[in-house]
A and B are shown apart, each in its own frame.
Chain A
């Protein structure tokens, strides 16, 4: 027996290790917000989800360098940008450095009269040309004019700088202000975009590591501080934080639990087998999700693992009841019915969740069901094999003193009932304000990371957008024309002060239709030559100097049109990418309003232009309604889960009175926990709801054990001891979780820690024995 159990233990541990390794190797872990997104969204919802997930500037990484005087920052920014550019691993690296436009701009320069602002015949009158030439002459008398003087023959009227100014608008990133510094001069700002896909987490991770290493390699960088922000940074940091926190939290709580349980049971083999049911449960749950869904979300793994944490209680119950009356087998004979009923009831509660239209929820449901069933089956059939014959000391008689005072028990129960009723009333009357509405708080990024992102964005003038107009079309040209057709309407809004301005793809890339109109406005070569000669009369420009200008206008007039590829070639693709893209089989153009004071006007405009496939998106309201949908649906599934669980419980106990005795403490604990959380100012999210489900499951086990028929005498002491240590274990683990930096884990931790205390106390106070003694 002894050898058999040792072998079994070693085999189990090895198997668990293998299972975990296989899981790590094969699982597709997702760490984005997709957890809370519906699986079959409408096109507008899909767009919303995409914008929420990746932000308006997808794939951009914002870098901040701080901790030095402005000179040091500018120096480092320049060297940093230089080193990053030299690596060739980025589509662009921008830090505000000015210099003559490089050859990459040639394609745009050639077609500059097709770009915005629209060229009109008025731009080519003698007077207009004369004004342009005089400006150019004046700029040759300055230092910066000397730096760009090679552009004079091709662009004597300064058309290029006119375009740059038009594009820049009020965005700081385009203002020729030298190296970008934050408003308070404490941070140098850089912007990079990698050539790697924003979704390839490994590639992004290696790029970000490269960025950090490059920075550390710069002279003097050891005194400065580098911060990174952006969607890919979040994704990488989240997965890193999850791994880090999991390690720290797991080690800390495992350490504490081991100390606690060793002090209680004084058995080393017991400690070794303690985690086996849970471990196998997690592996089985994760494997089931990976197989059925093809991927597993980080939240499912993190949350699912804790959700079935109740499985640690199984061996504690077995061990407590084994003692000197026999081995684990005998103990299981006695408590298996109770254990099984608890497990089945919990599984029943999770069952409806698997039907959710949100893949995250169905993943969790599946994970919990498979995980719990596996853990229970392991406990029933394999635990006796791997657990050596145990002879734990009988529990000290002191446990028996833990007995409700018969005289006061009624009063206490009544008080608890009233408190729970008051709590229910409070939650009922505040039901609109107790919920978490910010979708991003449901993610796994930390609050600091999001604050940093906001700061860098606003410094770079790429502030978070809330409202968007989406224009759909069959082709890119279609979308560009439609957005151009909105120009007048948009100008009306701007003039009325309802919106400060707009950004959209057609600002940069005019439709072919507009380009054609502009071509018609361009004078033919001989006429332009004549006007130019007249304009230059009396100015000291060398005759024949502007031949490249004449040729350039001619090329704009008769050459190929401007395309998206020209922007890609010029390294400006990043500017258009977030504003013009494919979605499914059609094209989408986004119009991004700035400084919105009247969102209703935008909504009305979209409504009026509905026939032109214009729609209005409010990211905040959209995300709030997504969260609300998510919550509403979850509540339905949870309610259904409760009903199924009750049915199972009824089947198991077969007596309404007993069901009631078990369910009253469970229901009250859940209510009181929810009340305490709300009163403490916590905005309740879906994760709190699911945690309450866990509280219910834990409480159910306590209540079932306290209400066992056989629980008398020493068995009762064992039950009390087992329940107390189960609760102590849970409280320890979840209190530590409450210190996590990840909002989701923190929410789960505090909910379950509080809930476990309530569950134990209430299960004890409402236990059959306490009542029957009166």
Chain B
């Protein structure tokens, strides 16, 4: 099944990573609702989070968690700002001080900006499926990073991302489901 899809793509010469990233690339700001399922080794049940994800080209990402607990995380360039409450002053750190987070954010940003080069710089990529139902597997190239994050799976249909799954080396998983524009 996989093989046939791949060969079909090869025959038509149309469905490749460059097409995918070109299709996904956003040129104007966009905000979507998301839900996140955290499956943690420590817990017998998953945790569910809800909120919005915003992207503004070229490099601003915002994750606003509304439930169960308000929290906002903003990445702009290499600056990471975390707010635990709208009243308290934010925590600001440099993204490069947190390599794991930096790698995940780079992946997301590269996909949203259509920057295939940046993506392949950090990850080995493997694209599966068809244009209507694709799965992009990202495996960190550096061993150090693999000790934290083993794989990132991004799945979707045509130029729409459906889910993002982060698999940590310790077995914890976070699955983001994109619910559509606000």
The answer on a CB contact under 8 Å between B79 and A143 is no
Tell me if A45 counts as interface (CB < 8 A to partner B): no
Write the B90-122 contact mask toward A (1 if CB under 8 angstroms, else 0).
Answer: 111110111000000000000000000000000
The answer on a CB contact under 8 Å between A152 and B42 is yes
Write the A516-547 contact mask toward B (1 if CB under 8 angstroms, else 0).
Answer: 00000000000000000000000011100100
Interface stretch among B16-24, B68-76, B137-145, B156-164? Answer: B68-76
A558 CA to B74 CA, complexed, in Å:
45
The answer on a CB contact under 8 Å between A142 and B97 is no
Q: Which of the listed residues B41, B93, B172 has the most CB atoms from chain A within 10 Å of its own CB? A: B93
Q: How large is the interface on B (under 10, 10 to 19, 20 to 34, 35 or more residues)?
A: 20 to 34
Given contacts A97-B93, A141-B68, 10 further A-B contacts (CB under 8 A): A75-B94, A78-B96, A97-B94, A98-B91, A138-B68, A142-B65, A144-B84, A149-B172, A178-B91, A179-B92
A144 CA to B69 CA, complexed, in Å:
12
A82 CA to B42 CA, complexed, in Å:
33
Q: How far apart are B84's CB and chain A's nearest CB, in angstroms?
A: 7
The answer on a CB contact under 8 Å between B43 and A542 is yes
A98 CA to B95 CA, complexed, in Å:
11
Q: How far apart are A160's CB and chain B's nearest CB, in angstroms?
A: 17
Give which listed residue, A70, A140, A542, contacts B92 with CB less than 8 A: A70
Tell me if A318 counts as interface (CB < 8 A to partner B): no
A138 CA to B41 CA, complexed, in Å:
16
Interface size of A by CB at 8 A reads: 30
- B contact residues around A74 at 8 Å (CB): 79, 92-94
Write the B36-57 contact mask toward A (1 if CB under 8 angstroms, else 0).
Answer: 0010111111010100000000
Q: Which of the listed residues A143, A153, A176 has the most CB atoms from chain B within 10 Å of its own CB? A: A143
A176 CA to B84 CA, complexed, in Å:
12
Give which listed residue, A177, A179, A541, contacts B94 with CB less than 8 A: A179
- B contact residues around A142 at 8 Å (CB): 65, 69, 71, 84
- The answer to whether residues A179 and B93 also contact, given A71-B79, A141-B47, A143-B82 and a CB cut-off of 8 A, is yes
Give which listed residue, A78, A143, A153, A179, contacts B42 with CB less than 8 A: A153
The answer on a CB contact under 8 Å between A545 and B77 is no
- The answer to whether residues A144 and B82 also contact, given A71-B76, A74-B94 and a CB cut-off of 8 A, is yes
Give which listed residue, A71, A82, A140, contacts B38 with CB less than 8 A: A140
What are 7 A-B contacts defined by CB distance under 8 Å?
A142-B65, A143-B71, A143-B73, A147-B98, A149-B40, A153-B42, A540-B45
Tell me if A99 counts as interface (CB < 8 A to partner B): yes
Tell me if B89 counts as interface (CB < 8 A to partner A): yes
- B contact residues around A98 at 8 Å (CB): 91, 93
Q: How far apart are A183's CB and chain B's nearest CB, in angstroms?
A: 10
- The answer to whether residues A138 and B94 also contact, given A143-B82, A144-B82, A540-B43 and a CB cut-off of 8 A, is no
- The answer to whether residues A545 and B42 also contact, given A71-B79, A99-B97 and a CB cut-off of 8 A, is yes
- B contact residues around A71 at 8 Å (CB): 76-77, 79
A97 CA to B94 CA, complexed, in Å:
8
**B-facing residues in A552-573 (Cβ within 8 Å):** none
**B-facing residues in A163-219 (Cβ within 8 Å):** 176-179, 181
- A contact residues around B81 at 8 Å (CB): 178
The answer on a CB contact under 8 Å between A75 and B42 is no
- B contact residues around A147 at 8 Å (CB): 98
- The answer to whether residues A75 and B82 also contact, given A138-B69, A142-B69, A143-B73 and a CB cut-off of 8 A, is no
Which chain A residue shows the least CB distance to B36? Answer: A141
A498 CA to B82 CA, complexed, in Å:
37
**B-facing residues in A56-100 (Cβ within 8 Å):** 70-71, 74-75, 78-79, 82, 97-99
The answer on a CB contact under 8 Å between A541 and B91 is no
The answer on a CB contact under 8 Å between B43 and A177 is no
Q: How far apart are B169's CB and chain A's nearest CB, in angstroms?
A: 12
Tell me if B30 counts as interface (CB < 8 A to partner A): no
The answer on a CB contact under 8 Å between A541 and B79 is no
The answer on a CB contact under 8 Å between B89 and A177 is yes
A213 CA to B81 CA, complexed, in Å:
29
A178 CA to B79 CA, complexed, in Å:
11
A70 CA to B92 CA, complexed, in Å:
10
Which chain A residue shows the least CB distance to B80? Answer: A178
Tell me if B27 counts as interface (CB < 8 A to partner A): no
A74 CA to B80 CA, complexed, in Å:
10
The answer on a CB contact under 8 Å between A140 and B82 is no
Q: How far apart are A544's CB and chain B's nearest CB, in angstroms?
A: 11
- A contact residues around B90 at 8 Å (CB): 177-178
Q: How far apart are B102's CB and chain A's nearest CB, in angstroms?
A: 12
**B-facing residues in A99-147 (Cβ within 8 Å):** 99, 137-138, 140-144, 147
A149 CA to B42 CA, complexed, in Å:
9
The answer on a CB contact under 8 Å between B98 and A99 is yes
The answer on a CB contact under 8 Å between A140 and B79 is no
Tell me if B78 counts as interface (CB < 8 A to partner A): yes
The answer on a CB contact under 8 Å between A140 and B76 is no
Which chain B residue shows the least CB distance to A546? Answer: B42
Which chain B residue shows the least CB distance to A144? Answer: B82
The answer on a CB contact under 8 Å between A542 and B41 is yes
Q: Which of the listed residues B71, B77, B79 has the most CB atoms from chain A within 10 Å of its own CB? A: B79
A147 CA to B92 CA, complexed, in Å:
15
The answer on a CB contact under 8 Å between A542 and B44 is yes
A457 CA to B103 CA, complexed, in Å:
37
Q: How far apart are B8's CB and chain A's nearest CB, in angstroms?
A: 40
- A contact residues around B38 at 8 Å (CB): 140-141
Q: How far apart are A206's CB and chain B's nearest CB, in angstroms?
A: 28
Q: How far apart are A73's CB and chain B's nearest CB, in angstroms?
A: 10
- B contact residues around A143 at 8 Å (CB): 63, 65, 71, 73, 82
A152 CA to B172 CA, complexed, in Å:
14
The answer on a CB contact under 8 Å between B41 and A78 is no
Which chain B residue shows the least CB distance to A545? Answer: B42
- The answer to whether residues A140 and B43 also contact, given A71-B79, A75-B78, A99-B98 and a CB cut-off of 8 A, is yes
Q: How far apart are A185's CB and chain B's nearest CB, in angstroms?
A: 10
Q: Which of the listed residues B43, B65, B68, B92 has the most CB atoms from chain A within 10 Å of its own CB? A: B92
The answer on a CB contact under 8 Å between A178 and B93 is yes
Q: How far apart are A218's CB and chain B's nearest CB, in angstroms?
A: 13
A79 CA to B110 CA, complexed, in Å:
24
- The answer to whether residues A178 and B92 also contact, given A71-B76, A71-B77 and a CB cut-off of 8 A, is yes
Which chain A residue shows the least CB distance to B41? Answer: A542
- A contact residues around B96 at 8 Å (CB): 78
The answer on a CB contact under 8 Å between B42 and A542 is yes
- B contact residues around A79 at 8 Å (CB): 94
A446 CA to B76 CA, complexed, in Å:
41
- A contact residues around B79 at 8 Å (CB): 71, 74-75
A98 CA to B93 CA, complexed, in Å:
7
Q: How far apart are B37's CB and chain A's nearest CB, in angstroms?
A: 11
The 8 closest A-B pairs by CB, nearest first: A78-B94, A178-B91, A178-B92, A540-B45, A540-B43, A540-B44, A178-B93, A71-B79
A150 CA to B94 CA, complexed, in Å:
21
Q: How far apart are A593's CB and chain B's nearest CB, in angstroms?
A: 27
Which chain A residue shows the least CB distance to B44? Answer: A540
The answer on a CB contact under 8 Å between A541 and B82 is no
A10 CA to B171 CA, complexed, in Å:
85
- The answer to whether residues A141 and B69 also contact, given A71-B76, A78-B93, A176-B91 and a CB cut-off of 8 A, is yes
Give which listed residue, B43, B63, B76, B97, contacts A78 with CB less than 8 A: B97
- A contact residues around B84 at 8 Å (CB): 142, 144
A142 CA to B81 CA, complexed, in Å:
14
- B contact residues around A541 at 8 Å (CB): 42-44
A556 CA to B45 CA, complexed, in Å:
32
A152 CA to B90 CA, complexed, in Å:
24
Q: How far apart are B112's CB and chain A's nearest CB, in angstroms?
A: 19
The answer on a CB contact under 8 Å between B47 and A140 is yes
A153 CA to B170 CA, complexed, in Å:
14
Q: How far apart are B101's CB and chain A's nearest CB, in angstroms?
A: 8
**A-facing residues in B164-178 (Cβ within 8 Å):** 172
- B contact residues around A99 at 8 Å (CB): 97-98
A147 CA to B82 CA, complexed, in Å:
12
A147 CA to B172 CA, complexed, in Å:
13
A397 CA to B65 CA, complexed, in Å:
97
A179 CA to B81 CA, complexed, in Å:
10
